[in-house]
Every structure is written in structure tokens, then in C-alpha cells.
Amino acid sequence: MTRKSNVNSTEATFSTASLPDHPGKDHVGGKLDAFGLKGPNGLHNCVILEPLGRSFEELLIMAELNQDEHHPKPSVYDPTVWSAKFLREVCRQIILALDFLHQNQIMHRDMQPGNVLLALTYDIHSMTEAEIEQDLWDVDNLPQDAEARDPSHQPSVANQSFGLEWQKMNFKRSFFSLNIMKRLDGEPLRKGDPIYIVGPTSLRDRLTFDPPADFKVILNDLESFCCFEDCNDGQITYPIDKADIWALAVMLCRIVTLTPFFSADSADSGESDEDVKQETEDLNLVYIIERVGPLPKDLRSHWPNAAKYVNQSVELLNPDPVDPQETVNGDLHHAVQLARPLNMSDREATIFKSMIKDTLQYDPSKRPKTTELLKHPWFTTNDIEHERRPAPPRRKYVVVRGGSDTSSSSSSEAKSLPDSPTLEPKEA
């Protein structure tokens, strides 16, 4: 690709507003404003983004763990909740957003479920601050005082003088998002410095999973964006956008199957032990080989511990036996066949697998472009047949808790997949 990006690096990092219109533009998070905040650790650049709902990382973990404080728990295999139709449209919108970036010579560089968020299905600007806070609270833990509990009795947002009971409850709700402020130079905080910071909390998107015709997902994380010419240090010989394509395929496979593509802890999980990090990298390569097939022989020389795991043909020395009721090992066909949505027919599963297999090419130059993916039969075939199948047996899996799909759970213990997810039920 020789055409230069329409934006410079700074603009690509923070805004896409100046880019040409494209169907995927509405599916990429945009900057509303930016400012600098001076604090104990210097100037902190702040970017104001549009209000959004839950990330797909949250949805996937909730569906996998079956933890929900607020709503009944429909079956994870209920096609009206986690349906093939819903997931196909989610994947199409994600690819559309990435196509918009690639058409403008911008890489995303962090394609993972935590960076795909649901757009709100209501007008948040019509709500008061108190109503927004109450919407996030567990209804069983609201303030007991009737006046404190009713947002209509609260002072106007402009006044900002909410009752003490309300403030205490809001602080309690934010407890697990609090982080103690520390100075980078190790010095104690000065008078007037904030003593804690509060992490983000997802807004209620109120999305039902039927889904509505106008539901929308947003590809976010503007800080990871990078122009093609700035991403290449001169050593990359393949089309630079193809790195995004591999990560895209891993993410789509997990979204559709609720199954982690890899099952080893992330090599960048913060462990200081270099041996542990190397073992993690080795296991991730083993899982890739299990899913996709043997690595190209020319890559074997770049794997320091290859002799421990593969032969000269880069085939696994000790492959794990495939359990017909488990998806943490076995090839891509096995994983999709077992973990596909209940109403995904054999025909559609085959078409979906073909798209993922074509995308997970070891040779980057052979991976399809986003424009080609949008034309794949999984999105263009109108008569993909849906059939209701018996619910598959309870399967074992390893929960992915990290921010990237190249990581997996912090625990190596396999857990049973619950019978139901934590998705909001369809409203009556």
C-alpha cells in the first residue's frame, strides 16, 4: 500500500472526525473533547469519549461465569439470547469498523473483546446525574431513606449538592473501582493531591439480545490507533494491516463460541520470572498449533524451545488427546462444532469455520482484507438455515480475564461452563 494516511499520528490517536464518510465510521469510537489535568505525577492527557455500554469482554465473562446480580438467567444456548443471527451482525459491524480504519491507512493494533462496546439504546442526555447513578446501582442496595432513594427528590445536576446518604452509596458502589494514588517519584502526596482515583464503570446499555434492528457496536481504544507508515519500522515486508486480521479472527471465534482461543496465561501478565514468561509463550504456540495446524518450518528457528514441543516438521511431540466434551484443546473444527450457538446449523457452522480458517493464515500476505471478509458467504448468504439442536453437554473451559485474546485466565484450573449466562433478558 502506497497511499498515505489522511491523518497524522496524533490525530489518528485521538480522533477520526476528519476522515471521509464510510459505513464503518459510525462504529468507531470518537473523541468529544480533550484536556490536560495536572496532578502529582505531572500532566495527564484526558480524552472524553461518547458514553457507551458494556464491552464484549464483560458480556463474555458474564456469559461464561453465569454471574448476574440483576436479571433472570436464560440458557446460554437459548437462540433468542446468544443467537447466530445476533452474533453474525456483531461480527459484521466489527469488521466494518476495522475496514473504515484500514481504508484510511490506520491500524487498530489491539483487536480484542474489551475494545468492542455496545452503544446505548436510550438518550442519556435526557437523564439527570442522579438517574444515571441509580441506573447503575443494585436495586437491593439503594439507600433506605425514601428521599435519598428517589432521584426526583435530588437537587438539580447544576447544584451538585446531593444528599450525604446518596454520596455514601455512590462511593460504596465505586469501591472496587478505586485505586490509591501514588507518586511516581516515591514521595508522599502533597496537600491538595487526590488520594484515590476511580476506574471506569460501564453504563447500562439496556440491550436485549433478540436483537433490535438498530443495535450498534463500537470499536474503541483510540490510543492504540496508528498510521500504517508509523507502524512499520522498515523490517516488516508484508501488508501491515494483516496483523489486525489475525487478532480479529481470534476475537470473532471467541465471541461466537464463548471459548478462549488460547488457554495459557498471558506472557505480559506482569510476572517477573522470565522462565514463567517463556513457558507461557511456548504454551501459547502449542495452543495455536492445536487450533490451526503446524507452524511453517521457517518459523521453527525463531522458537527457542521448539525442540521441547515439536519435531522437525513442527508437529507436536505430545499432543493432548481431544476430549469430545471439551473445547480447550482440539482443532478449530472441533471447537466450533461443539461450542457454536444452539441455533447455528451445520451448514452455517461450516461457513463460519471456513471464514476463520481462511483468516488464521500463518503467512500474513494470504490473510484476507477486511473488504474481502465483508463479502464472505457468512455475511452475504441470505438463506443460511437455522436449526434448533439439543443443548450440548456441559463443557470445560478456561476463562479469559485479560484485556487481550492472546491471554487467558490467571488460573490453570478448568471450570465447568454454567448452563446460563448473565445477559439482560428480552423485555416484555
Tell me the pLDDT band of 157, cut-offs 50, 70 and 90.
Answer: very low
Report which of 400, 255, 407, 414 is spatially closest to residue 320, judged by C-alpha positions: 414
Task: Say what the pLDDT of residue 348 is.
Answer: 93
- 3-class DSSP assignment, residue 316: strand
324 class by beta-carbon count within 10 Å (0-12 exposed, 13-18 middle, 19+ buried): exposed
Task: Say what the pLDDT of residue 211 is.
Answer: 59
Q: Letter for the amino acid at 304?
A: P
The mean predicted confidence, pLDDT, of the chain is 74
pLDDT at 371 over 90: yes
Report which of 151, 188, 182, 185 is spatially closest to residue 166, judged by C-alpha positions: 151
pLDDT at 145 over 70: no
Tell me the pLDDT band of 368, cut-offs 50, 70 and 90.
Answer: very high
4-13, 25-34, 70-79: which is most confident: 25-34
**How many CB atoms are closer than 10 A to CB 325?**
11
Give per-residue pLDDT as tens, 262-307. 765 544 545 557 888 888 889 889 888 988 888 999 889 889 999 9
Task: Say what the pLDDT of residue 241 is.
Answer: 86
| pLDDT above 90 as % of the chain | 25
Cell numbers standing for residue 264: 495459557
Q: Return the bridge partners of 52, or none.
A: 119
If you average pLDDT over residues 27-41, what whole number do you get?
86
The mean-pLDDT minimum among 28-37, 52-61, 241-250, 387-396 falls in 387-396
Task: Say what the pLDDT of residue 95 is.
Answer: 98
Task: Say what the pLDDT of residue 224 is.
Answer: 79
If you average pLDDT over residues 33-60, what whole number do you get?
87
The mean-pLDDT minimum among 76-80, 95-99, 158-162, 165-169 falls in 158-162
pLDDT at 4 over 60: no
Three-state secondary structure of 130-146 = HHHHHHHCCHHHCCCCH
If you average pLDDT over residues 152-174, what whole number do you get?
56
Q: Are strands 396-397 and 226-227 parallel, antiparallel or unpaired?
A: unpaired
Q: At what angle do helices 242-257 and 346-359 cross, to 10 degrees?
A: 150
pLDDT at 194 over 70: yes
Q: Letter for the amino acid at 188?
A: P
Q: Which residue has the higher pLDDT, 79 or 401?
A: 79
If you average pLDDT over residues 29-47, what whole number do you get?
85
Give per-residue pLDDT as tens, 47-60. 888 899 989 988 88
**Angle subtended at Cα 48 by Cα 42 and Cα 52, rounded to the nearest 5 degrees:** 135
The mean-pLDDT minimum among 22-26, 42-46, 291-295, 422-426 falls in 422-426
Diameter over CA atoms, the chain: 73
pLDDT at 384 over 90: no
pLDDT at 118 over 80: yes
Cβ–Cβ under 8 Å, residues 276 and 284: no
pTM of the model: 0.76
Tell me the pLDDT band of 17, cut-offs 50, 70 and 90.
Answer: confident
